[in-house]
Amino acid sequence: MDCHLVSTGKLTKEDVARELREISSVYEGDHFDVHLRACRRCGQLFLYCFRKHTTPDWREEDWAFWVPVAPTEAQEVMGSRQLYRAVGRIVSTRPHLCLDPRGNLSWSRFGNLSIGQAVFPQI
């Protein structure tokens, strides 16, 4: 992955929004959205997922993830009959950008199983 969004150390959510263009809306719902986006500079595909998660103490948290994917992986996820689980697995196991409920944007180099399981229960 040679995309500048992957190698840049300090990014803001505005940087990410400006640098990615919408390719396809895969699914849109009240608490779960999935889109395919591409880097304007290099064309790297990113699977974007928004998830509104309700915690056990009934707080609502907004999470966003941008996962770099190969074209074949994007097609697999987009064609999945279990989209929620497919996206949850990718977030849990793959490098990605994560925007947490406090507005912090960070790069997860190896995926994040604990966040994946909390935000996407039943994966």
Q: Are 97 and 106 in contact (CB under 8 A)?
A: yes
What gap in Å lies between CA 78 and CA 25, rounded to an integer?
Answer: 9
What gap in Å lies between CA 10 and CA 94, rounded to an integer?
Answer: 20
DSSP at 96: E
Those residues of the chain that have pLDDT short of 70 are 1, 8-9, 110-123
Predicted local distance difference test score (pLDDT) of residue 1: 61
What gap in Å lies between CA 39 and CA 2, rounded to an integer?
Answer: 11
- pTM of the predicted protein model: 0.85
Predicted local distance difference test score (pLDDT) of residue 84: 80
Predicted local distance difference test score (pLDDT) of residue 87: 85
Predicted local distance difference test score (pLDDT) of residue 111: 63
Spatial neighbors of 85 by CB under 8 A, at least 6 apart, are 120, 122, 123
SS3 assignment, position 75: helix
Predicted local distance difference test score (pLDDT) of residue 112: 58
What gap in Å lies between CA 93 and CA 110, rounded to an integer?
Answer: 6
pLDDT in tens, 61-88: 888 999 999 999 999 888 888 888 888 8
What gap in Å lies between CA 81 and CA 63, rounded to an integer?
Answer: 22
Annotated domain spans of the chain: 4-119
Predicted local distance difference test score (pLDDT) of residue 117: 54
